[in-house]
Chain A
Amino acid sequence: MAGLDIFLQNVANGVLIGGVYALIGIGLTLVFGVMRTINFAHGDFVVLGMYSAVLFNALLGWDPYLSLLLAMPIGFFAGVIVERFILSRVIDAPPESALLATLGISLIIGNTILLTFGGEPRSVQVSYASSTLSIAGVNVSMVLLLAGIATVIMIGALYTLLNRTEVGRAIRGTAENRLGAELVGIDTRRIHSIVFGLGVMLAVMAGVTLIPLLFATPTNTGAVFTLKAFVVTVLGGLGNVGAAIAGGILLGVVEVLGASYFMSEYREAYGLIAFLLILLFRPEGLFGRTVKRV
């Protein structure tokens, strides 16, 4: 019985942490789906979110969730500016130009944070950091539960935006066929800016929800999150929002279960190995339907 309890506990933790991975992955996959750009700076925007929570906490004493109110709009506009001034200029260049540009942005963000905050790990202490909630005999950490709830709300909002609004329709149209979208009068440049803004906003939000749980360091953490986002989106199939959610939860569960039942030192490697296998055998993703191997 005890074995089952621990198993359920692990699955619950995996699902909740996977929700945050999903949030990170959705941002990346949305940007890729619409702009066909692989955003190497995505993880650094997550770290930027973490540091924004640290900053608001240090200056104003705000709880991370309160700082979301400011951090998310700022993230959105930062994304719009980056797209306008950098990415929009390389959108028609060979695909690796955009990749290299985001790599540059990633280095600039990480090292600017390093110059501003220094290299030591930062975190935000919250009163509910170690409290747990018992649901049907399974103990769930409060921080993870809050992150899970925030993720569900955000995904719901995003779903409504994409499927129920005019902007969402324009985004989906641009993703499907940029030229076709332009022919029916959609300003795809504006859509690209909005989508990149949304991607950064999601990354920032994920960072803020993670800060009570993890320490933020300027340069390494960014790369870790970028990798996780790649793993999540490739698991599900690049460019597919629904699949990114499934991919995120899958990665969370695989990591937690792999770490508790096999070798915990290789926690990070399980996701990477799954990622390689999928790249090799199903580049369109586990749930992808469009079989177009380019």
Chain B
Amino acid sequence: MTKHFLGLGVLLAVGIVYPAIFPNYLTIAISVLLFAGWATSWDLLGGWNGQVSLGHASFVGLGAYFVAIGQSRFGLAPWWTMAMAAAFAAALGYFWGWLTFSLRGPYFSLSTIAVAEILRLVAINEEWLTGGATGVFIATLPEPFGIDLFSRVAQFYMALAFAAVVVATVIVISRARFGYQLRAVREDEDSAMAAGIDPTTTKLKAFMLSAALTSIGGGIYGIVLAFIEPHVIFALLLSVQIALTAIIGGRGTIWGPAVGALVLIGAGEMFRTTFAEANMLIYGILILVVVLFVPRGIVGELARRRIRRLYAKRAQG
């Protein structure tokens, strides 16, 4: 655990000086950090707890809409609306999980798509609340301590803080009682139950935490975009992107989702001119490669090899 926190500290230090060194590459860094945070949040439920959600864009959308509507309509500062969005997302996660956790495996994944699609339709059609298909525009933001939240540097630090908090949460959970409960439920619900763990409660807690964290990142994303359209932010593709980022990086590992975000966003940027808007092609090809050849994902596979080398060394004496 200390090792992981040390790693996180080093990365944070690098992150803090990053805007000074690469001032022209802030937007892509913000994408990487947001996706790292979302994928790590997703992984709490999808990797550590084994419940593959294909509806996490709903929580991104909730966060973004809370911030945008709160600011443009009620003049509420983003930090209040983000807290509200997190609470609302957790409540939604509770209700959603309460409804769907009796379903196992693929049925749960199917139900997450349906719920997310219904939310998207609500966002498009309830114009009095969301501005409909045209979306919401954030024209002004407060300036805490004189910081301009519209500047990319400020947004970068917000995204950095978000990703760091999410990874720190996972580091703590990985060694906590709750983390072991999550994994027990993932491996075998019936055995977990026999060991005195309530699978439904465990899954609900994981879902609520995952949803709340994702929505905070969504709030930051709302500020970054400054203009929120329902078909962008509630898109099934965003849900798929979040899930695949975590899976390709390595499900149920601390650093896997973050590595996945770095690799995928980096690759997307590299092939931007070749593929233009078809950049999800990379996700499609990589997920096939992962499913067929490296089922543990990038970080999971590296960890497996390291352990094997360790055993080999030990066997030699």
Contact = CB atoms under 8 A, between A and B. Distances in A.
Interface stretch (A64-72, A88-96, A147-155, A250-258): A88-96
B234 to A, nearest CB: 12
B295 A111 contact: no
Interface stretch (B81-89, B101-109, B170-178): B101-109
B292 A106 contact: no
Contacts of A89: 292
B111 A269 contact: no
Contacts, number: 118
A20 to B, nearest CB: 20
A209 to B, nearest CB: 24
B17 to A, nearest CB: 36
Contacts of B124: 265
Nearest to A267: B121
Given A90-B291, A114-B277, A115-B275, A107 B284 contact: yes
A269 B121 contact: yes
A106 B124 CA distance: 25
Contacts of A223: 236-237
B193 interface: no
B21 to A, nearest CB: 34
Contacts of B110: 38, 230, 234, 275, 279
Given A95-B105, A279-B100, A105 B288 contact: yes
A281 to B, nearest CB: 10
Interface centre among B121, B284, B295 (most CB of A within 10 A): B284
A265 B281 contact: no
Nearest to B286: A104
Contacts of B292: 86, 89-90, 101
Nearest to A96: B52
B99 A227 contact: no
Contact of A99 (B100, B102, B106, B237): B106
Given A96-B52, A108-B285, A280 B278 contact: no
B291 A280 contact: no
Contacts of B115: 276
Interface in B278-294: 278-281, 283-288, 290-292
A170 to B, nearest CB: 25
A268 interface: yes
A102 B152 CA distance: 37
B288 A104 contact: yes
A220 B159 CA distance: 29
Contacts of A227: 113-114, 117
Interface in A173-226: 219, 223
B107 A283 contact: yes
B117 A272 contact: yes
A104 B107 contact: no
Contact of B288 (A86, A96, A114): A86
Interface in A242-294: 263, 265-266, 268-269, 272-273, 275-276, 279-280, 283, 294
A103 interface: yes
A119 interface: yes
A132 interface: no
Nearest to B289: A104
A71 B220 CA distance: 47
A276 B114 contact: yes
A230 B52 CA distance: 17
A99 B290 CA distance: 13
Interface in A114-142: 114-115, 119
B107 A279 contact: yes
Interface in B90-132: 99-100, 102-107, 109-111, 113-115, 117-118, 121, 124-125
Contacts of A105: 284, 288
Contact of A265 (B106, B121, B287): B121
Interface in B41-71: 52
27 contacts: A38-B106, A93-B295, A96-B105, A96-B109, A99-B109, A101-B291, A103-B284, A104-B283, A104-B291, A111-B278, A112-B278, A115-B278, A115-B281, A219-B280, A266-B121, A269-B117, A269-B118, A272-B118, A272-B121, A273-B118, A276-B114, A279-B100, A279-B111, A279-B114, A280-B102, A294-B104, A294-B105
Interface of B: 52, 99-100, 102-107, 109-111, 113-115, 117-118, 121, 124-125, 236-237, 240, 244, 247, 275-281, 283-288, 290-292, 295
